[in-house]
């Protein structure tokens, strides 16, 4: 019996070994030809699907080849720009860099602060001319341009235009520099390919791809001298000043800013059209500066109720909210409350259109302005002058302290007393209603209100003008608790203030 039992065990073992052999053989067949542990059946099916579409694959590969060629040809001419700024500390709102606010905050002992910022640029001439953004190099005490290969050059600012945010730099080298080709931004259409190359987050040579999302984004962004290109090409901090390139490898824009709630790209970026940059660069190289016309007014949009009261047709006219003392308009007899209907025969329809039209008039030229004053049309001849720099405009605003009011330690001012450049930085639209918190008295109580906030309501009472603000103070100002509705960088919020 033992022998018989042993024989049966041997037979059972043989069956097991044979089964294992068959399993091993099946596994080997199934995995034969596999690469990196990926099953051949699935990989082969996907690969065959792609390869079968020969026409599509060829088209995609051709586009990929174009992108590679753009990176190789344009990339070496794109530079990183490091800027050393010596800023003055002491103003709690110094982030805006506006001396206008210093009056409202009171003087503090200034301290020098050295900071280093980074941006991008691109070489437009083999002699070493570099195009970038004005805001990248603003208030720079030292500018360093860094090539893609790491070579560094000290740069000097040749000229700039703050309104269009364009700066022209110059570097010197022993040999010709690589350059980019400038395209025609007017030829772009929504949906066209765009490529951004630059130095986001100090990562030089970063290459991102997208399309033109929209054109002529100027009025919506309170930027009257701009017609921004909007793109979904990824643009991040550090891309400013770098090129936006079309599918032909030509620069069609200068990456300038992004819309973001996080500080990173949300797919909404803006670039200065290169055609605007061409005009600025040509003027700087010829005359050393770029001039814009100036008349010395603070214009405002006209709403439908006001238009009906003034008996004006739709989309006609711009209100003169205030006339700057001793400016060209004041000398010609223009007054607060006048409505500008025409300039040199051109009908006026909006504030941005008016500002662009005036900016394009050469300094020294006398131009007829048709205005409506108390329902009567009159014509004024205004001699256009060169537009002051932002710094000069800020100094003028410092003297407008008579227009500010103080209550609860707040120092507020009417929006039309602040120049448009400052309003843009605060994210305030040209037709915004409300009053601006310009600062605080030294003994002001600590609250969540901040300089730059626009007061829209107090205790649910609308605050559209300084008159509304003053009426509220007279009627309700002695209360101990207030609910403020304010607008801060485009967002509404409610803030409680207790005295």
Catalytic residue numbers read 135, 165, 240
Q: How far apart are CA 397 and CA 418, in angstroms?
A: 7
Q: Using alpha carbons only, give the angle 90, 93, 96 rounded to the nearest 5 degrees.
A: 115
Q: How far apart are CA 109 and CA 128, in angstroms?
A: 41
Phi, psi of 89 (to 5 degrees): -95, 165
Q: How far apart are CA 394 and CA 467, in angstroms?
A: 25
Q: How far apart are CA 246 and CA 344, in angstroms?
A: 37
Q: Using alpha carbons only, give the angle 435, 358, 278 rounded to the nearest 5 degrees.
A: 110
C-alpha to C-alpha distances, 483 to 122, 398, 455, 472, nearest whole angstrom:
50, 30, 11, 13
Q: How far apart are CA 145 and CA 119, in angstroms?
A: 10
- Cβ-contact 158, 125 below 8 angstroms: no
CA 176 to chain centre: 32
Token duo for residue 91: 């103003």
Phi, psi of 20 (to 5 degrees): -65, -40
Strands 181-182 and 250-258, how do they pair?
parallel
How many residues are recorded in the chain?
Answer: 499
DSSP-assigned letter for residue 401: G
Token duo for residue 434: 């409300």
Contact partners, residue 175, CB within 8 Å, separation at least 6:
none
Give Dmax (Cα) for the chain: 132
- Cβ-contact 73, 250 below 8 angstroms: no
Using DSSP, how many helices (H) and how many strands (E) does the chain show? 12, 28
Handedness of CA 17, 20, 24, 25 (dihedral sign): positive
């Amino acid at each position: 019996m033992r022998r018989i039992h042993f024989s049966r065990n041997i037979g059972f073992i043989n069956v097991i070994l044979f089964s294992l052999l068959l399993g091993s053989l099946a596994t080997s067949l199934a995995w034969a030809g596999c690469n990196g542990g990926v099953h051949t059946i699935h990989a082969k099916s996907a690969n065959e699907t792609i390869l079968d579409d020969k026409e599509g694959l060829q088209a995609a590969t051709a586009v990929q080849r174009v992108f590679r060629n753009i990176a190789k040809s344009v990339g070496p001419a794109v530079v990183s720009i490091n800027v050393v700024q010596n800023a003055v500390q002491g103003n709690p709102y110094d982030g805006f860099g506006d001396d206008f606010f210093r009056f409202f905050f009171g003087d503090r002992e200034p301290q020098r602060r050295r900071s280093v910022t980074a941006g991008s640029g691109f070489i437009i001439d083999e002699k070493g001319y570099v195009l970038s953004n004005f805001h990248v190099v603003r208030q720079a005490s030292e500018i360093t341009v860094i090539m893609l290969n790491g070579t560094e050059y000290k740069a000097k600012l040749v000229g700039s235009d703050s309104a269009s945010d364009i700066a022209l730099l110059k570097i010197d080298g022993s040999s010709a520099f690589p350059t980019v080709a400038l395209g025609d931004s007017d030829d772009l259409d929504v949906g066209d390919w765009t490529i951004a190359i630059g130095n986001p987050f100090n990562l030089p040579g970063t290459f991102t791809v997208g399309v033109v999302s929209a054109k002529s984004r100027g009025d919506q962004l309170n930027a009257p001298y701009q017609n921004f290109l909007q793109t979904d090409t990824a643009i991040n901090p550090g891309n400013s000043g770098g090129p936006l390139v079309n599918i032909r490898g030509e620069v069609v824009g200068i990456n300038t800013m992004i819309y973001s709630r996080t500080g990173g790209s949300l797919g909404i970026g803006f670039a200065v059209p290169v055609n605007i940059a061409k005009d600025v660069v040509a003027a700087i190289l010829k005359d050393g500066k770029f001039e814009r016309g100036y008349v010395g007014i603070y214009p405002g949009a006209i709403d439908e109720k006001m238009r009906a009261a003034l008996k004006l047709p739709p989309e006609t006219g711009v209100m003169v909210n205030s006339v700057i003392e001793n400016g060209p308009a004041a000398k010609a007899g223009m007054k607060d409350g006048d409505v500008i209907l025409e300039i040199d025969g051109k009908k006026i329809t909006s504030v941005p259109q008016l500002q662009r039209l005036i900016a394009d008039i050469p300094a020294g030229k006398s131009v007829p302005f048709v205005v409506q004053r108390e329902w009567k049309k009159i014509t004024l001849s205004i001699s256009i002058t060169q537009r002051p720099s932002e710094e000069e405009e800020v100094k003028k605003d410092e003297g407008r302290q008579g227009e500010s009011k103080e209550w609860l330690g707040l120092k507020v001012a009417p929006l039309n007393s602040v120049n448009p450049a400052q309003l843009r930085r605060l994210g305030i639209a040209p037709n915004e209603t409300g009053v601006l918190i310009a600062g605080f008295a030294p003994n002001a109580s600590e609250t969540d209100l901040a300089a730059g906030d626009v007061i829209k309501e107090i205790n649910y009472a609308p605050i559209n003008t300084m008159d509304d603000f003053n009426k509220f103070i007279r009627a309700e100002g002695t209360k101990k608790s207030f609910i403020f509705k304010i607008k801060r960088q485009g967002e509404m919020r409610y803030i409680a203030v207790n005295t």
